[in-house]
Amino acid sequence: MCGIIGFAGREQAAPILLDGLARMEYRGYDSAGIAVRSETKGLQVKKAKGRLQVLSDLTHGGADLEGTLGIGHTRWATHGEPNDINAHPHVSENGQIALVHNGIIENYLEIKEQLQRHGVKFTSDTDSEVVAQLLEFHYNECHNMLEAVGRVLRRIEGSYAFGIICSDYPNALIAARKDSPLILGYGENGNYIASDVTAVIKYTRDVVYMEDGEIAVVTPESIDVFDSEMNPLEKKHSQVDWDVSAAEKGGYAHFMFKEIMEQPEAIRKTVSPRIRDGRVVLDDVSMTVDYVKNISRIFIIACGSSYHVGMVSKYNWERLLRRPVQVDLASEFRYSDPLVDENTLVIVISQSGETLDTMAAMREAKRRGARTLAIVNVVGSSIAREADDVLYTWAGPEIAVATTKAYSTQLVLMDLIGLYLADLLGTVEKSEYDAILTEMQLLPEKMSHFLEHFEDVQYFASRYFNHNSIFFIGRNLDYAMGLEGSLKLKEISYIHSEAYASGELKHGTISLIEPGTLVVALGTYAALFDKAMSNVVEVKARGAEVLAVTTESFKEKMEKTADSTIVVPDTHPILQPSLGVVPLQLFAYYVALQRGCDIDKPRNLAKSVTVE
Ligand code: F6R
């Protein structure tokens, strides 16, 4: 979703701002802009609808804008259509203040009307411009930018990360945050603000995560952070420990493909440190046996692909723990008056750790007394900081909008937690526990082996890429995996696709199957393989073309019925989705490639969804 970058330093700001925005392109956007202040030219603002390249061309790579202080923004439209005028930065009426904003100002209409009564003229449809104008209004009253920002923050409601510059302040930019991420970066040639570390990692690894309600004044020499009462704060610095190359394509055509290929290593990094002497060790979680025994109910809450991880885990955890596990979409959970109390364990899953729906659902669960455990990839993100406990998936930065390696690491981490809890409860046999752990450690190798033959999937994609509607069917874990396969395909290839529990087809959906319809049949779940096969026969009988995914054990049987078969290595049944999902990711990737889609930045989508 929207990305903010700001720089106060001793170098020309515009090229740095454009570079930072380029590194945040993956977040999703539809327009971009920068504002730079110089002694001679004052505030200069350039904005453009469309790709960042348009803005870069417009400013000759930033060379046209002179000055060492600036802010930049990529916008993902919420209020007002994507166009040049609604793009950020927004400038106050007298042209003295420029502002970039992520988030939503809920009471903007009321403030807008009030300012209009004072004669203020607006040019855009955005809630963000209202803040720029309100800032000018208060600045005219108090003539102190920090004080004016404080007054504005007390007046507005909603979520925000702001970057602000003012022509009266040649060296300082002001930042503020509430419910929208913002980091401060300490560099050699100046200091930064950014929505995420990928924007500044090229320049510094020394960062501070801003908290809700905090305000920062950033100059080339220093960064001062204040609480909402303007009391100075001492902030803890963090060192970003991943390499800049982790956020670069490194010779691959797309981030998505690179990230698919990185999955074995990401799984290894997530699993290895958590298995010691044949046991699962979750150092960062402090649940006692008594607490676990008193858990009456478990909720798993997430959105999108993270929710699909929850679907797999529901099957696995209920099997392992013999406790009711409910998976809820975060956006539904928070408004459903959920049955949550202090004996409820709430697991929230989020790659970005910033998804607003998931964050709000977690807060609601906490408010009702539940204990929350967050599974997060981005270190220091909002969800990670607010949860009672956090376990990180060590997938490294995920840049492609369509998640792959984060999904895979979430899956194995949830399996590990399931085993850990089952062990505490005594609901898993030792032999089963050992077998799962052994197989889990073999997953990276088996996945690598499969990935060596990625061209097989490419072949099927070239055969089926021109279908306009595709069904994914499977039972139990295969159904949960099908949900993810279907989402991957539709989000990057724009092909309409649905995932169904195979047994449910005959209750309606089978009427959509006609000669030539492509059905991706998932038959990796051993316990229900024969049942799944009956459903494959049903769709074949109605003329469907069947592309199957199965395991080595069932290859022969599947090949007798399906038109095409992709075979993944066998593993423990609980872990089978970790291998089964890989061909589905590759299939989506190659279909999208054949169709000429913008794979890493699919239309209308954002990487971290920070609005409701
Ligand atoms: C799909 C995808 C999204 C995310 C969803 C939740 O490929 O990436 O569906 O899974 O937006 O995001 P996080 O996990 O960051 O909360």
d(CA 60, CA 593): 31
Residue 243 has pLDDT above 80, yes or no: no
Residue 325 has pLDDT above 80, yes or no: yes
Whole-number pLDDT of residue 304? 97
Q: Of all helices (H) and strands (E), which one includes residue 217?
A: strand 215-218
> How confident is the model over 3-10, as a mean pLDDT?
97
Whole-number pLDDT of residue 355? 93
Place of tokens 């390249």: 53
Residue 504 has pLDDT above 80, yes or no: yes
Can you tell me which atom of ligand 1 is nearest the CA of 406? 14
Of 180, 260, 303, the one to substitute when testing ligand 1's pocket (max ligand atoms within 8 A of C-beta) is 303
Residue 259 has pLDDT above 80, yes or no: yes
d(CA 420, CA 164): 47
How does pLDDT run across 162-171, given as a tens digit for each residue?
Answer: 999 999 999 9
Of 196, 256, 260, 306, the one to substitute when testing ligand 1's pocket (max ligand atoms within 8 A of C-beta) is 306
> How confident is the model over 351-373, as a mean pLDDT?
95
Q: Which of 258, 314, 446, 607 is catalytic?
A: 607
Lowest mean pLDDT among 231-240, 245-254, 276-285, 431-440: 245-254
Told to judge if 601 belongs to the known catalytic residues of this protein, a careful annotator would answer: no
Ligand 1 centroid to residue 78 C-alpha, Å: 18
Whole-number pLDDT of residue 221? 97
Residue at 177: amino acid letter: R
Ligand 1 centroid to residue 283 C-alpha, Å: 26
Ligand 1 centroid to residue 157 C-alpha, Å: 26
Lowest mean pLDDT among 138-147, 279-288, 310-319: 279-288
Whole-number pLDDT of residue 241? 80
Residue 403 has pLDDT above 90, yes or no: yes
Which residues have CB under 6 Å of ligand 1? 303-306, 350-352, 355, 358, 402-403, 487, 491, 608-609
Ligand 1 centroid to residue 306 C-alpha, Å: 6
> How confident is the model over 383-394, as a mean pLDDT?
95
Whole-number pLDDT of residue 237? 94
- Give the β-pairing of 496-501 and 469-474: parallel
> How confident is the model over 23-37, as a mean pLDDT?
89
Can you tell me which atom of ligand 1 is nearest the CA of 355? 16
> How confident is the model over 586-600, as a mean pLDDT?
93
> How confident is the model over 523-527, as a mean pLDDT?
96
Ligand 1 centroid to residue 28 C-alpha, Å: 12
How does pLDDT run across 440-485, given as a tens digit for each residue?
Answer: 999 999 999 999 999 899 999 989 999 999 999 999 999 999 999 9
pTM: 0.82
pLDDT band for 424, please (50, 70, 90 cuts): very high
Whole-number pLDDT of residue 298? 97
Of 260, 305, 307, 334, the one to substitute when testing ligand 1's pocket (max ligand atoms within 8 A of C-beta) is 305
How does pLDDT run across 43-56, given as a tens digit for each residue?
Answer: 999 999 998 999 99
d(CA 411, CA 313): 8
Of 609, 610, 611, 612, the one to substitute when testing ligand 1's pocket (max ligand atoms within 8 A of C-beta) is 609
Pinpoint the alpha helices (H) of 322-465. Answer: 330-333, 356-367, 382-386, 405-425, 430-451, 454-464
Whole-number pLDDT of residue 503? 92
Ligand 1 centroid to residue 520 C-alpha, Å: 23
Can you tell me which atom of ligand 1 is nearest the CA of 308? 10
Can you tell me which atom of ligand 1 is nearest the CA of 608? 15
Residue 15 has pLDDT above 80, yes or no: yes
Task: Tell whether domain 3-241 is in CATH 3.40.1020.10.
Answer: no
Whole-number pLDDT of residue 610? 73
**E strand segments, 273-414:** 275-276, 279-280, 297-302, 325-329, 344-350, 371-376, 389-392
Can you tell me which atom of ligand 1 is nearest the CA of 407? 10
Whole-number pLDDT of residue 24? 87
Ligand 1 centroid to residue 131 C-alpha, Å: 29
Identify the DSSP state of 335: T
Whole-number pLDDT of residue 287? 83
Of all protein residues, the one whose alpha carbon is nearest to atom 5 of ligand 1 is: 304
Of all protein residues, the one whose alpha carbon is nearest to atom 10 of ligand 1 is: 305
For the chain, give the percent of residues with pLDDT over 70: 100
Residue 551 has pLDDT above 80, yes or no: yes
- Ordered by start, the domain boundaries in the chain are 3-241, 247-449, 455-594
For the chain, give the percent of residues with pLDDT over 90: 85
How does pLDDT run across 62-78, given as a tens digit for each residue?
Answer: 999 999 999 999 998 87
Of all protein residues, the one whose alpha carbon is nearest to atom 16 of ligand 1 is: 350
> How confident is the model over 417-421, as a mean pLDDT?
97
For residue 200, how many other CB atoms are within 10 A of its CB? 29
| HSE-up of residue 352 (Cα within 13 Å, Cβ side) | 28
Residue at 329: amino acid letter: L
Of all protein residues, the one whose alpha carbon is nearest to atom 9 of ligand 1 is: 304
> How confident is the model over 585-594, as a mean pLDDT?
95
Residue 603 has pLDDT above 90, yes or no: no
Can you tell me which atom of ligand 1 is nearest the CA of 303? 6
Ligand 1 centroid to residue 472 C-alpha, Å: 20
Is 455-594 in the same CATH topology as 247-449?
Answer: yes
- Give the β-pairing of 190-194 and 183-186: antiparallel
**CB-based contact 36:17 (threshold 8 Å):** yes
Q: Which of 2, 166, 303, 597 is catalytic?
A: 2
How much is the mean pLDDT over the chain? 94
Of all protein residues, the one whose alpha carbon is nearest to atom 11 of ligand 1 is: 304
pLDDT band for 606, please (50, 70, 90 cuts): confident
Whole-number pLDDT of residue 251? 79
SS (H, E, C) 158-211: ECEEEEEEECCCCCCEEEEEEECCCEEEECCCEEEEECCHHHCCCCCCEEEECC
Told to judge if 607 belongs to the known catalytic residues of this protein, a careful annotator would answer: yes
Residue 611 has pLDDT above 80, yes or no: no
Tokens of 410: 């979430």
Can you tell me which atom of ligand 1 is nearest the CA of 609? 11
Which CATH number is 247-449 given?
A: 3.40.50.10490
Lowest mean pLDDT among 256-260, 288-292, 434-438, 585-589: 288-292
Classified by CATH at the fold level, domain 455-594 comes out as: Rossmann fold (3.40.50)
Whole-number pLDDT of residue 245? 74
Ligand 1 centroid to residue 403 C-alpha, Å: 7
